[in-house]
Amino acid sequence: MMLRLYDTYMRSVREFEPLQPPAAGMYTCGPTVYDYAHIGNLRTYIFEDLLRRVLEFNGYNVKHVMNITDVGHLVSDADTGEDRMEKGSRRTGQSAWEIAELYAQEFKNDLLRLNIQEPHIWCRATDHIREQIDFVKCIEANGYTYRTSDGIYFDTSKLADYGHLGCLDIEGLRAGARVDVAEKRSPTDFALWKFSPPGEKRQMEWDSPWGVGFPGWHIECSAMAAKYLGPYFDIHCGGEDHITVHHPNEIAQTQACHGTRLANFWMHGYFLQIDRGRMGKSEGNFLRLQTLIDKGYDPLVWRFFCLGAHYRTKLNFNWEALDGAATGLNRLRTVTYEWGAPGELNQEYIDRFTEHINDDLNIPRALALAWELAKSELPGSVKKATMLAFDQVLGLDLAFRKPATEAVPDTVMALIEQREQARANKAWQEADALREQVRAAGYEIEDTSQGPRARAC
């Protein structure tokens, strides 16, 4: 059963064949760590995690690299405005280095809670300044750059097929360009190296052959991907917004230096929407994973919610649907738990599952098959083993999770109520003693922003 994937570059679903089997190199554009990730960003990382698990399910030996953007991503993707990190630093009163550390840790924590497998290699833009400078030198030596008063730019007119990935209408863009192109020769040209503003000392800046400054946003991915995976590897992915700017620029840079389009397959996860509009940090309408947890949802409910839609469709968020996902996940956990010890696999189900996941990651169909398995007449031990095999891809922790108990007994609820009273009266010892009583009854109290909740333990 061959694996078929949609490649944005070729605009078609085609067979995936690794360049150097059984190895499969995979690069995913990581977060810009100036703020928390939102659940839309996390949808993209869940899609990439599913992709990696499907590759592994097919027996490939995946090498997964993810970058952390901690410099160079300006407020506008068109190389204008402030650096997001320096802006984040002003917002929080911490240094750009401190917020990079803080939000990178928070991001890793979110991945862990969503059962997203850690990349084999994490790479930070600020740890690879030399590689980026070398890459720009290579592009310059091949004649693709020019200098303006604020930086070194890539001359996109020098590449005949610039923008192929995004189907960009280059002539239209040029004709419609307004004066805010500044000194750029074309609106699609982009910064490779930006100079620190005259008379200003940035928190993050380095020496370079062109002057003190910092790398443009796109060069980090080309330079680090080429360093860890080589200049032509298997799959590069990111969110759909990268189809028109960031990824065409990564390709252009790599063509100019190495003569390759960097990756064989280019894959993109579609956006999470809220109220039918994009969920985004700049739109101010975003929800964090922690917000869902504070409201009492298990973080894997978010993963389960995302499994319900194909990665190449937009997904709309609403609370009713999230509640539906919570019920669904708990039901799946309950049945799996009750089947007891795993026995033999059912090969027919495994084959059908493989067919769905190998059909450009048709996870919704694979999930429907999991329900079909659950309802089948097979022995519990066979269902258990087969479901746990599915879970290698689904990543719902079905082997380890007990289902949530239906209702917390009244006696425990009364103890929790008394503890709230004690806390309100600042009777801390009494409150602690009551927590112990709740524990003894087999429940843990979780204090959330919605008030205390009991969890079976």
Binding positions for ligand AMP, rule: CB under 6 A: 29, 31-32, 40-41, 43-44, 238-239, 241-242, 269, 271-272, 278-280
Q: Which stretch binds Zn ion (CB under 5 A): 218-226, 227-235, 295-303, 342-350?
A: 218-226
* Residue 223 sits in the site that holds Zn ion (CB under 5 A): no
Integer Cα distance of 246 and 241 in angstroms: 8
- Residue 455's beta-bridge partner residues? 444
Residue number, 3 or 221, with CB nearest to Zn ion: 221
Residue number, 272 or 434, with CB nearest to ligand AMP: 272
For residue 260, the minimal CB distance to Zn ion (Å) is 16
Residue number, 33 or 335, with CB nearest to ligand AMP: 33
Residue number, 253 or 386, with CB nearest to Zn ion: 253
For residue 192, the minimal CB distance to ligand AMP (Å) is 19
Q: Which stretch binds Zn ion (CB under 5 A): 124-132, 154-162, 215-223, 340-348?
A: 215-223
- Say if CB 350 and CB 386 are below 8 A apart: yes
Q: Which two tokens stand for residue 182?
A: 């500044």
For residue 218, the minimal CB distance to Zn ion (Å) is 7
For residue 221, the minimal CB distance to Zn ion (Å) is 3
Neighbour-count burial for 91-113, b at 16+ CB within 10 Å, e otherwise = eeeeebeebbebbbebbeebbeb
- Say if CB 181 and CB 148 are below 8 A apart: no
Residue number, 43 or 52, with CB nearest to ligand AMP: 43
Residue number, 241 or 397, with CB nearest to ligand AMP: 241
For residue 361, the minimal CB distance to ligand AMP (Å) is 15
- Say if CB 307 and CB 277 are below 8 A apart: no
Interaction partner, residue 124 (ligand AMP, Zn ion, none; CB < 5-8 Å by kind): none
For residue 77, the minimal CB distance to Zn ion (Å) is 11
For residue 360, the minimal CB distance to ligand AMP (Å) is 18
- Say if CB 148 and CB 155 are below 8 A apart: no
Residues in contact with Zn ion, total (CB under 5 A)? 2
Q: Which stretch binds Zn ion (CB under 5 A): 24-32, 182-190, 354-362, 441-449?
A: 24-32
Residue number, 246 or 303, with CB nearest to Zn ion: 246
Nearest residue to ligand AMP by CB is 239
Interaction partner, residue 44 (Zn ion, ligand AMP, none; CB < 5-8 Å by kind): ligand AMP
How many other CB atoms are there within 10 angstroms of residue 327's CB atom?
12
Taking the mean position of all CA atoms in its chain, how far away is CA 226? 20
25-44: contacts with Zn ion (CB under 5 A)? 29
Residue number, 43 or 383, with CB nearest to ligand AMP: 43
Interaction partner, residue 221 (Zn ion, ligand AMP, none; CB < 5-8 Å by kind): Zn ion
* Residue 71 sits in the site that holds Zn ion (CB under 5 A): no
For residue 241, the minimal CB distance to ligand AMP (Å) is 5
Q: Which two tokens stand for residue 249?
A: 């620029």
Q: Which two tokens stand for residue 138?
A: 């290579």
Q: Which two tokens stand for residue 10?
A: 């070729």
Integer Cα distance of 119 and 205 in angstroms: 28
Strands (E), 256-343: 262-269, 272-274, 277-278, 315-317
Integer Cα distance of 71 and 276 in angstroms: 31
- Residue 11's beta-bridge partner residues? none
Neighbour-count burial for 274-303, b at 16+ CB within 10 Å, e otherwise = beeebbbbeeebbbbbbebbeeebbbbbbb
- Say if CB 408 and CB 454 are below 8 A apart: yes
* Residue 221 sits in the site that holds Zn ion (CB under 5 A): yes
| Helix, strand or coil, per DSSP, at residue 390 | helix
For residue 214, the minimal CB distance to ligand AMP (Å) is 17
Integer Cα distance of 452 and 430 in angstroms: 16
Integer Cα distance of 435 and 448 in angstroms: 15
What residues make contact with Zn ion under the rule CB under 5 A? 29, 221
